[in-house]
Each structure stands twice: as structure tokens, then as C-alpha cells.
Structure 1
Amino acid sequence: MNKYTLRSLIFLFSVLSLNCIQSGAYAQRKITGFELEADPLAYILKGYSLHAGITYGSFRTSMGTFAIQQPDMFSGNEAFSVYHSGFDLKTDYLFGRIAGWHSGLQISYAKEKVELKSDPDQQLIWGLNIGARVGYRWMFGNVATNYKGFYLNPWAALIYSPNAADIVAGTEKYKQKSFSIFPAVHVGWRF
């Protein structure tokens, strides 16, 4: 991806995020909750996941870090081992409620460490990814306490990687996908 494309994508996401922040829903400038969450599947897949978020008006914004050892069946070529890691920023519209449906945008800067299983030589693919997401938040706290406590947040995103690359190692070829669907189930705590 050239520097102009990268700048354009960052600018687009920034404008959309700032639009959410300055919308009528945020006019009160009141943060209504702080949340920490993680994806347990990331730990099962030899990785990690930790995200911190705030809710304000009808919106939620979070920042986080993540990593997974990509299962072979998703890599497109089982001859390769792929470890995906990075950090992200997400902004969601909550449709006027803390609990229930949400949809939004995300941007991540990530690295794929790709290696041919028969050869320990690694190659790195760095890139900016953008996506649209939708999910549902099950809040186990009660309304009177603003849903403080445990929650589940299953969601899925359609991710676009504008700088998808190919790696050739020996006679094998790894082709990074331009579009992918990423499902997750985050568990969290609302303070």
C-alpha cells in the first residue's frame, strides 16, 4: 500500500470517528461507562486479547491489542503457519442502548508472521486493515447500576486489507486475502 492510500484510510476513519464523537448523542460530553474485555479464543489459539472501551451517549469506542495463531484451515495454504498480531481502534453505534445490537467501524494495524512449516525462515507482512462490524451485547448487570458487571459481546466484522500480499517460499505460495470475515466472542466487565 502506498503512503497516500494509508493516509487516505486513516483520514477516512478519523473523520467517521470524530463525526460520531461530535454527534448529538455526545453533546452531553458524558462518559457513561468504562469496560475491559478479552477474546478467550485468542488465548486458546496461542495468542492474547485485551481491549479497553468507553461508552458515551449512543456510542462505544475501544482500543485493544490482539494476537492468534491462525488455524491452518483459514490460511488458504496449510503448508504455512501464520501468526497474526496487532492493535485496533473500534467505534460502534449502540442504537440508544448499552445492551443489545451494535454496529460500527474498526481499523487495525497488524502483522502477519508467515513461515513455511518445513522451513523456519519467517516473513512479515505489515498492514492497515479496515472493517465494518455488527454484534450483540448481553449485559448481565442490571439497569439500575447502568449494567455494571459481566457481559458477553459476540460480533463479526468484514475486514478489508488494502495491502494484501503474496509470499512464495520454495514451491509453495501464501496469498493474503483482501477481504475476510472475522468472528469473535468477547467477554468483559463494565465498571
Structure 2
Amino acid sequence: MVFFAGVDGGVTQLRVTHTTTGNEKDRLQYMLGVRTGYRWSTGLGNLFVTPWIGFGYVLNADDIEIDGDMYESSAFTPFPTIHVGWKF
């Protein structure tokens, strides 16, 4: 088992659509975050499993207004996941 931690960054293209009018707004969101997890060998050759979790902060998480309605944006983004992979 190998523990790891690190930092990450990302860019997300966000599209919000007003459900009544169909009008849309697009926004690029920029995120910085941290992640941590473990890598376990399965005992089946080079097959491994890596559960990890990341927490990101969206730098420009402003609310979006379309046709008088406000869509709230969250500044914090959790990202739990499990990777299954083969080590070459």
C-alpha cells in the first residue's frame, strides 16, 4: 500500500440552461485543490486499486443570472473516486 497526496488544478466549461426559456450562459471555471489516497496492489500481478478523494476550490464561482433567475455556484468541489489500473 502506498499513500500519496498532492495538489491539482483544472478548468471546467460550465453551461447553465434556463429550464423555461431555454436561454443559456457558458462560463469557464478555474479550480485549485488537494487530493489524497492510497494505492493497493490486488495481488493479481500488476493490477492495482487506488481510492482517493480531492477537494477543490473554484476561483471564479460567481452566481449566474439568466432571465431574472439566479443559479447559485458552489466554491467547493469534493471529488471522491476509485481508479482501477494496470502498472506497466
Structure whose residues are more often strand by fraction: 2
Q: 1:160 to 1:119 in 2, by over 3 A?
A: same
Residues 4-153 of structure 1 aligned to structure 2 (within 5 Å): 99-141=1-43, 149-153=46-50
State the superposition RMSD in angstroms.
2.0
TM-score (norm 1): 0.41
TM-score (norm 2): 0.80
Instruction: Give the aligned partner of residue 72 of structure 2.
Output: 175
**Which 4+ residue blocks in structure 1 deviate beyond 4 angstroms?**
none
1:121-148, Cα deviation, whole Å (9 max, x unpaired):
2211102211011112122257xxxxx6
Output the amino acid matched with 2:8: Q
Query: Please, which runs of 5 or more residues in structure 1 have no aligned partner?
Result: 1-98, 143-147
Amino-acid identity (%): 28
Output the amino acid matched with 2:47: F
Q: Contact conserved, 1:131 with 1:158, CA < 8 A, in 2?
A: yes
1:77-109, Cα deviation, whole Å (9 max, x unpaired):
xxxxxxxxxxxxxxxxxxxxxx33211100112
Aligned residues: 88
The 2-side partners of 1:102 and 1:169 are apart by: 42
The 1-side partners of 2:11 and 2:66 are apart by: 24
Q: Contact conserved, 2:64 with 2:70, CA < 8 A, in 1?
A: yes
Query: Please, which runs of 5 or more residues in structure 2 have no aligned partner?
Result: none
Instruction: Give the aligned partner of residue 54 of structure 2.
Output: 157
Structure whose residues are more often helix by fraction: 1
